[in-house]
A and B are shown apart, each in its own frame.
Chain A
Amino acid sequence: MSLLEVRDLHVRFGQTAAVRGADIVVERGETHCIVGESGCGKSVTSLAVMGLLAKGAERRAARMAFDGIDLLPMNERALSRLRGDRIAMIFQEPMTSLNPAYTVGSQMAEVRTRHKGGTRRAALDRAEELLGRVGITAPGLRLGQFPHQLSGGLRQRVMIAMALMNDPELLIADEPTTALDVTIQAQILRLLAQLQAELGLGLMLITHDLGVVARVATRVSVMYAGQVVETATTAELFANPRHPYTRGLLDCLPVPGKLPPGSQLGTIPGMVPKLTEGFRGCGFRSRCAYAQPACEADIPLYGTTHLSRCVLSA
């Protein structure tokens, strides 16, 4: 049984279809990256899994299960018992996701006592241990500090430590290093990879950065215009991308050593289509060099292990 299984997820905000076909499976002990450009639906997908969509959003899916437990019929109460406990989440902006009015220690302890009970003292001890584990020096001192007293890199470490308070089985991280410097990014990603290997977590990592994907992912799902358009193991996706969008995206990157400096970078002409009601078929067809009439109909994911939502892969 997969740790997380999402089949044919759709999310609509009024007239706009934000997600119109996302299939994501996360296994225990693997890092599954969801990659795509702004507006492709990658963050909405993760929020839909957690039941954190804004009011007014419509969500439907063929299946959405965590460790075999069906998430679809769950009410808010049942979901909130799961969130922060067996499923934890890290967001991009550690400044806005930590409460500025409470100390690091009290925010971390609350996560523990709320789900597992026990004393505040025991929870603080655990918080201190975890802060040390994520590489924060003088963790005892940090417990008494407020978020504004910490640097961006430290805050993100606090977020990670907080996410680990209840030994989650699934960790969803939405652009966890986007706001950080490259040196700090490397430290945080290394830490996440280490923790994931030690604790056997399933990690769902959402990012726009193909460099991050290449270095940390076991499997990759590429999203475009609300759909997962390609899913494969990382080595397979980079060596043998099938969907024209994935190929276009890889060509846009300046890769030191592969592309001589100053040479023309590949581009993807055109723009993302407006996903209004009634939009059917491949979202990439208006920008695709291989578009044909068949692209206007709904296209399934073709393949068995390397999946591609493209008529050319049929």
Chain B
Amino acid sequence: MTPAIEIRNLAKRFNVKQGFFGKPREVRAVDGVNLRLEEGATLGIVGESGCGKSTLAKLILGLLAPTEGDVLVAGQSLGALDRRARARLIQPVFQDPFSSLNPRRRVVDVVAMPLVAQGGLSGAEIRAQSLAMLERVGISAEMAGRYPAQLSGGQRQRVAIARALVLRPRILLCDEPTSALDVSVQAQILNLLAELRRDMGITTLFISHNLAVVEHVADAVAVMYLGRFVEYAPAKELFAAPRHPYTRALLASVLTPEPGLGVPDVGLGDAMPDPSNIPPGCRFHPRCPVAIARCSTEAPPLVGGAECHLLTP
């Protein structure tokens, strides 16, 4: 079966000049990502700021052209498609519902925009479909006539979800969809997304720094570090038995609401990852609490979903 989305050796490099006379430096934001995701599955992508999550999201959405590699949605290469065709296949929901909705358009018109851009439907049909989708995400027809500024953060995120789903795309890409929301609102949005995924059978990429949320929603999880997936495994396995030392550190630093446990010692030191200066060998070795000599010279092989020397037999 053709996977819903396939990513082959994807890379994106930027040339950044430092200062007026500075030498241009190469930032390897995404550095060789591979992925296959079956129809209807939800993949969580986790990692710290600067690991390349957002660049990866932009590549998958076709908002950036890759330096190398390819993204295939339902067997079609994104690079070979025009914007309209791409929009029918994949749609985003972004973090900030305050800046991702046009403040000067009514909610119903915000949701109608993708249908208008596709063409081929009458005004009445477009309105009917937009209102139906808004209803589906819990926004009443009365609220649909308001402007985004008149809605709460949670309601705006519902509108953003309606806009993403109104074209019935194959893939929904959520980039930190609940990070700007309060926990009570976050729960509502996560429940809504779960319901929509079930009903519409939509394949979802869920980018988040919140591991508790990812564990709750994802079937599979990719852990990203300096532009690569250092571990990629079914969610159950990854959370029960993380293999890569970085995954273990990330999981250890999650503060679950259980009193009496204190704050764990993550043991990562303060060497910050820098995508313009990726260490030789294993890119995680300067922060790795269990690194051995080989880690600083040789790139680790991929063993059972994780890239780590310690996992080689």
**Contact indicator B262/A265 (Cβ below 8 Å):** no
B178 to chain A minimum Cβ distance, whole angstroms, is 10
Q: Is A145 interfacial (CB 8 A cutoff)?
A: no
B3 to chain A minimum Cβ distance, whole angstroms, is 21
Among A17-25, A51-59, A160-168, A184-192, the stretch in contact with B: A184-192
1/0 contact string of A200-230 vs chain B (CB within 8 Å): 0000000011111111110000000000000
Q: How far is the CA of A185 from the CA of B270 in the complex (A)?
A: 12
Check A37/B212 contact, CB under 8 A, given A136-B270, A151-B272, A262-B217: no
Check A254/B259 contact, CB under 8 A, given A37-B184, A186-B264, A268-B184: no
**Contact indicator A261/B184 (Cβ below 8 Å):** no
**Contact indicator A253/B212 (Cβ below 8 Å):** yes
Determine the chain A residues whose CB is within 8 A of the CB of B48 once the complex forms: 181-184
Q: Which of B162-183 contact A (CB under 8 A)?
A: 182-183
Q: How far is the CA of A224 from the CA of B250 in the complex (A)?
A: 31
Q: Which of A122-168 contact B (CB under 8 A)?
A: 135-137, 151-154
Determine the chain A residues whose CB is within 8 A of the CB of B253 once the complex forms: 182-183, 185-186
Q: How far is the CA of A267 from the CA of B270 in the complex (A)?
A: 38
Q: How far is the CA of A182 from the CA of B255 in the complex (A)?
A: 8
Q: Is A266 interfacial (CB 8 A cutoff)?
A: yes
Determine the chain B residues whose CB is within 8 A of the CB of A239 once the complex forms: 259
Q: Is A271 interfacial (CB 8 A cutoff)?
A: yes
Q: Is B96 interfacial (CB 8 A cutoff)?
A: no
Q: Is B235 interfacial (CB 8 A cutoff)?
A: yes
**Contact indicator A252/B262 (Cβ below 8 Å):** no
Closest to A37 in B: B182
Q: Is A74 interfacial (CB 8 A cutoff)?
A: no
B262 to chain A minimum Cβ distance, whole angstroms, is 6
Q: Is A38 interfacial (CB 8 A cutoff)?
A: yes
**Contact indicator B257/A253 (Cβ below 8 Å):** yes
Q: Is A300 interfacial (CB 8 A cutoff)?
A: no
Q: Is A238 interfacial (CB 8 A cutoff)?
A: yes
Check A253/B183 contact, CB under 8 A, given A238-B257, A262-B216, A267-B191: yes
Q: A212 touches which one: B215, B255, B270 (CB < 8 A)?
A: B255
**Contact indicator A182/B259 (Cβ below 8 Å):** no
**Contact indicator B255/A186 (Cβ below 8 Å):** yes
A142 to chain B minimum Cβ distance, whole angstroms, is 11
Q: How far is the CA of A51 from the CA of B152 in the complex (A)?
A: 30
Determine the chain B residues whose CB is within 8 A of the CB of A214 once the complex forms: 255-259, 261
Q: Is B254 interfacial (CB 8 A cutoff)?
A: yes
1/0 contact string of A245-270 vs chain B (CB within 8 Å): 00011111111110101101111100
Given known contacts A256-B239, A268-B184, what 14 new A-B pairs fall within 8 Å (CB)? A154-B272, A181-B48, A186-B252, A186-B263, A187-B266, A214-B261, A215-B258, A238-B258, A256-B215, A261-B215, A261-B217, A261-B218, A265-B216, A267-B184
* Chain A residues in the interface with B (C-beta under 8 A): 37-38, 135-137, 151-154, 181-187, 189-190, 193, 208-217, 234-235, 238-239, 248-257, 259, 261-262, 264-268, 271
